[in-house]
Structures are given as C-alpha cells and as structure tokens.
Amino acid sequence: MIDRRTALAGALMLPLAARAEERWDAIVDPRTGTLGKALDQAAAAGGRPFRILVREGVMIEKLTITVPNVTIVGSGRGTVLSFGTYAGLKHPDGNNWGTGRTGTLTVAAPGTTVRNLTIRNSFDYIGAKRDSTGNGAQAVALVIGREADRTLVEHCWLEGYQDTLYVQGRSRIADCRIVGGVDFIFGGAAVWFERCEIVTRYVPNVPEFGYLTAPSTPAVQEFGLVFSRCRLMREPGVPARSTWLGRPWRAGGNMALTGQSVFLNCWMDAHIKREGWTWMGYKGPEGDQRRLTPQEARLFESASRGPGAGPASATRRTLNAADAARFTRASVLGDWNGLGG
C-alpha cells in the first residue's frame, strides 16, 4: 500500500515526459549554473514570457523576480532554492533586514508562475530559540509582493518556521505543502489556496505552537486568505490543542486593516485549538497598546472536518450556506482565472 506522504509526493511531481516536450528559454543545472543567471536572462527579455526549467539539486541563492511573465519549473521536491536570512540580521545598509526583505525568493512583478520545487528559508529557528537569540526570527521563504499580481504557485514545498509565506499580491496557491510555526501564512492579499497541506512544525520546549495565519486584509477588500479543501497537519511532537488557526494582523497599527482568513471544507488534525482564533496586539493612533480580536476581524470556517474541527463559539464563527457560497475561486481572484504560464 502507498502511504499518504508517497502519494502526495507523486501528486506534486509534474510528469517528466510532459516537461521534456515543453519549450524552455533557459535550463538550469544547479551543479553548473544558477537560477539567478537565468533570471538575468529573463530581465534582458524585457517582459516577454520567459520559461525556465530547473533540474534537481540545491541552489543557495536569494533572488527577486523583477520582470513580468516569468515561469520557473523545477524537477520535483529535490529542486531546492534555499537561503537563511532573518529579520534581526544586520543588513549592509546598517539597518536590520526586517521581515519583508528576508525572502529566499521574492516575486516583484506580475504574471509569475512557480511550479514543482522547494523554496526554503534555512535560518536555524530552533537553535535561535534554544540559545535565546530568536529576537527578529521572522524568516520568509517566499514573498509575493504588492507588484506581483496574478502569481501562481503550484506543486511546491514552502518551508520555514516563522513567516514562511508573505502574500501581498493577488495569488493562487494550489497543491502545495506549506510548513511553518508562527504566523507562517500572512499578508493582505486576496489569495485562493486549494488542496494544500498546511503543516505545523515541532519546536522543542515551547508551550504553544503558534498560528497558521496572520491576515492583514484591508477592510475595503472583500476577500483575504481563503483556504479550500486543504489539510491542516502537524509534525510529530506537536501536541493536541496547541495551535491557533490564526490571529488578525493590524500591520503598523493601520486601523483600515481587518484581516480575513476563511477555511472552507478543510480537514484539521487535533493540534488545532478548540477556540480556533485569538487576538493580536497593535499600537493605536495615540500610541496606546490595543488588541484586534477575532470578533472584530473576519475569521471564519465552513464545513471543517477532522479532530481539530471545533464547535462554533464567539471566537470560532462558522459561515452559513449562503455566505460560504460567496467564497469561490472566481470571486476571490476576480478578473483572473488563476492559471499561469
């Protein structure tokens, strides 16, 4: 019998034969070349569709996609893009890197497609916690910036601990495995997640195991982080009732942000807390410390299943059938069909 992990790996792997028949503008072998050089070629192409195939191997690179219509396709989970910058590290400009600049891969242009590879932030989060040097431990694997409208990420493995995936541009994330611990899917974009595995990582000697999401959705924006038919999993050692579905992030104390996360028809393992959601602190306009609560934000579920699916409560609100029906791929993505290059 094939176990679920093997089946998932097969599902996330694009057929080699199909890839061999495709046309590529650049092919990267990590043993002899770099993805950065291929992205330089894409930039020189001036925004015309540019397709890059990356063979299996590990690339230690920190990269930004700066021109539109770039497609990057790996050869499976063994195609790894990895780097280890974290927010508290000093940048050459004298300031800290800060969360937004830590991404191993940053998408800063529209029409990007990323398929079939691992994107990892390799910062030693566990070591930093052990040695009490974890201040500024945010370390992003993938940043989808505000300029990155119509980003498609599918059949990928996104790996980090705190702040794995930062989404500020409209995106579709499909058939991916997203691994992290604290606020590891966050941002203000309208994003449609489908058939993804959302995996909470084990960290020794911590009382709670963090938050899956931290949405910073503008109040005027109808849709935020929407998860459809996903599976909420945990690594061995993560205890039952230890993990929040999320908390609303009022970034910079911006009162116009009322984060939205919605889980639709998702299976949840027993690590999810019964209360579901919790508050997040911020500074008010007068500099006073405040809390944005689940009741003030837009945090909902519909048709949750599994041992982590808790009863409805003041903090764990469920959508009625009519409201749940509003959340479709077409409504979240608007005038874009969610397909890429």
Tens digit of each residue's pLDDT (9 = 90 or more) over 113-158: 999 999 999 999 999 888 877 678 999 999 999 999 999 999 999 9
Q: Which domain holds residue 236?
A: 4-21+57-333
Q: What was the pLDDT predicted at 3?
A: 45
**Choice among 18-27, 37-46, 69-78 with the minimum mean pLDDT:** 18-27
By three-state DSSP, how is residue 47 classified? Answer: coil
Q: What was the pLDDT predicted at 136?
A: 86
By annotation, the residues acting in catalysis are: 163, 183
Q: What was the pLDDT predicted at 19?
A: 53
Q: Where are the alpha helices (DSSP H) in the chain?
A: 4-12, 16-20, 35-44, 125-130, 321-324, 329-333
| 173-222 pLDDT tens trace | 999 999 999 999 999 999 999 999 999 999 998 877 899 999 999 999 99
Give, as one character, the DSSP assignment of residue 18: H
Q: What was the pLDDT predicted at 2?
A: 39
Residue 5 has pLDDT above 60, yes or no: no
Query: How many domains would you assign to the chain?
Result: 1
Question: Per the domain annotation, does 43 fall within a domain?
Answer: no
Q: What percent of the chain has pLDDT over 90?
A: 89
Mean pLDDT score of the chain: 93
Residue 76 to residue 74: CA distance in whole angstroms: 6
Question: Per the domain annotation, does 78 fall within a domain?
Answer: yes
What would the mean pLDDT of 298-309 be, rounded to a whole number?
A: 98
Question: Per the domain annotation, does 26 fall within a domain?
Answer: no
192 has which bridge partners? 172, 226
Is 297 within 8 Å of 276 (Cβ atoms)? no
Question: Per the domain annotation, does 48 fall within a domain?
Answer: no
Question: Per the domain annotation, does 44 fall within a domain?
Answer: no
Q: Within a 13 Å sphere around the CA of 4, how many CA atoms are in the beta-carbon half?
A: 4
Domain CATH code at residue 291: 2.160.20.10
Q: Give how far Cα 240 sits from Cα of 6, 63, 71, 87, 309, Å.
A: 25, 37, 40, 30, 12
Residue 63 has pLDDT above 90, yes or no: yes
Is 244 within 8 Å of 280 (Cβ atoms)? no
Q: Which helix (H) or strand (E) holds 280?
A: strand 280-283
Residue 173 to residue 107: CA distance in whole angstroms: 14
Residue 25 to residue 306: CA distance in whole angstroms: 45
At residue 17 the predicted structure's pLDDT band, cuts being 50, 70 and 90, is very low
Residue 115 to residue 110: CA distance in whole angstroms: 16
Residue 310 has pLDDT above 80, yes or no: yes
Q: What was the pLDDT predicted at 16?
A: 44
Q: What was the pLDDT predicted at 134?
A: 67
**Extended strands (E) in 124-259:** 142-144, 151-154, 157-159, 165-167, 171-174, 177-180, 182-187, 191-194, 197-200, 211-215, 225-228, 231-234, 244-246
Question: Per the domain annotation, does 218 fall within a domain?
Answer: yes
Query: CA torsion angle for 82, 88, 90, 92 (degrees, to 10)?
Result: 60
Buried b (16+ CB within 10 A) or exposed e, 284-318: eeeeeebebbbeebbbbbbebeeebbbeeeebbeb
Residue 114 to residue 231: CA distance in whole angstroms: 21
Q: What was the pLDDT predicted at 20?
A: 55
